[in-house]
């Protein structure tokens, strides 16, 4: 899927991060979300690599990266820890300042990195998310029904791990397909890669820890930054799926403007998986943004 990309496994001290590098030009880091891996960028990365040095990683606990041990604090799977990983990867590759595009959980890692290390992120694109604080805070009963996994995956270990572990393929496939508006856009080869990761021992636990960290450490970090008036310094692009599969009760642009001064973007007519459902439109929007800032 990534012809011409070099694959490396980079140690960050706490984790081993599976990394792909391709193309030439200014550095652009692309981060995936749940329940997927770097494969989510397969339709977008080759075109971006014509203009940028594209770096793809599997976040800790995902894909072919390592699964660090976790504890009751869930700090090992906080977005701060994941942001530290990818920052270390970019340092190892010789990039001190770089652009970031993040989908879903990867977008949360991206904005956390932009808040924690503003000197390192030159521009940030966040796909189909608003900050964790602004997701949990205003969620209504209808939103909780549609986004039930935000409350299911955070339940104490081993309840969700046990239930999902009974048939991980079913849970993965149902989740991805229920969040997709445009049928047939996620081909079997990609689904096979997602299944391969989700079947690994410890993968379901790592995904649950990612969400448990969101419910605890990430919320706390967002709240501290909000209370301190901390803002994202770089230009920010927000894109979201405007199709019928997922109701979007939140005004994405309005929310992000409470976190950053330079905000632009809009919806694409698809479901949650923008890089896979509408790759041409997603690529065009990313190219326009990153080449113009």
Is 272 known to be catalytic?
A: yes
Alpha-helix runs per DSSP H in the chain = 45-48, 79-92, 105-116, 132-136, 141-146, 149-152, 159-165, 168-178, 188-198, 203-213, 219-228, 252-257, 274-277, 279-292
SS3 for 229? Answer: coil
* CA nearest to 113, candidates 149, 148, 151, 81: 81
* Secondary structure letter of residue 216 according to DSSP: I
Which residues, other chains included, contact 288 with Cβ-Cβ below 8 Å and sequence gap of 6+? none
Which residues, other chains included, contact 130 with Cβ-Cβ below 8 Å and sequence gap of 6+? 238, 250, 252, 255, 256
CA 110 vs. chain centroid, Å, equals: 8
* CA nearest to 63, candidates 82, 38, 41, 42: 38
Catalytic residue among 58, 85, 104, 225: 104
Residue 183 tokens read as: 């049928």
Is 64 known to be catalytic?
A: no
Place of tokens 């990195």: 113
Please list the active-site residues: 104, 272
């Amino acid at each position: 899927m990534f012809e011409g990309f070099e694959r490396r496994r980079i140690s960050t001290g706490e984790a081993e991060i599976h990394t792909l590098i391709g193309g030439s030009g200014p550095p652009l880091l692309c981060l995936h979300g749940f329940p997927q891996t770097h494969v989510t960028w397969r339709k977008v990365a080759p075109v971006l690599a014509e203009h940028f040095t594209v770096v793809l990683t599997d976040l800790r606990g995902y894909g072919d990266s390592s699964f660090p041990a976790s504890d009751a604090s869930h700090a090992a799977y906080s977005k701060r820890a994941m942001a530290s990983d990818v920052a270390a990867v970019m340092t190892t590759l010789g990039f001190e300042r770089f652009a970031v595009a993040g989908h879903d959980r990867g977008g949360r890692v991206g904005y956390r990195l932009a808040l924690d290390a503003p000197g390192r992120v030159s521009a940030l694109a966040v796909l189909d998310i608003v900050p964790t604080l602004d997701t949990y805070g205003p969620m209504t009963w209808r939103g909780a029904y549609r986004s039930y996994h935000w409350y299911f995956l955070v339940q104490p270990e081993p309840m969700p791990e046990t239930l999902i572990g009974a048939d991980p393929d079913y849970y993965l496939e149902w989740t991805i397909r229920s969040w997709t508006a445009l049928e047939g856009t996620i081909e079997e080869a990609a689904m096979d890669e997602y299944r391969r990761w989700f079947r690994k021992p410890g993968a379901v636990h790592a995904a649950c820890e990612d969400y448990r960290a969101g419910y605890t450490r990430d919320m706390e970090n967002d709240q501290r930054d909000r209370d301190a008036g901390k803002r994202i310094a770089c230009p920010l692009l927000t894109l979201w799926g405007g199709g019928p599969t997922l109701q979007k009760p939140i005004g994405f642009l309005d929310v992000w403007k409470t976190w950053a001064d330079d905000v632009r973007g809009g919806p694409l007519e698809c479901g949650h998986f923008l890089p896979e459902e509408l790759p041409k439109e997603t690529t065009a929007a990313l190219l326009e943004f990153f080449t113009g800032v």
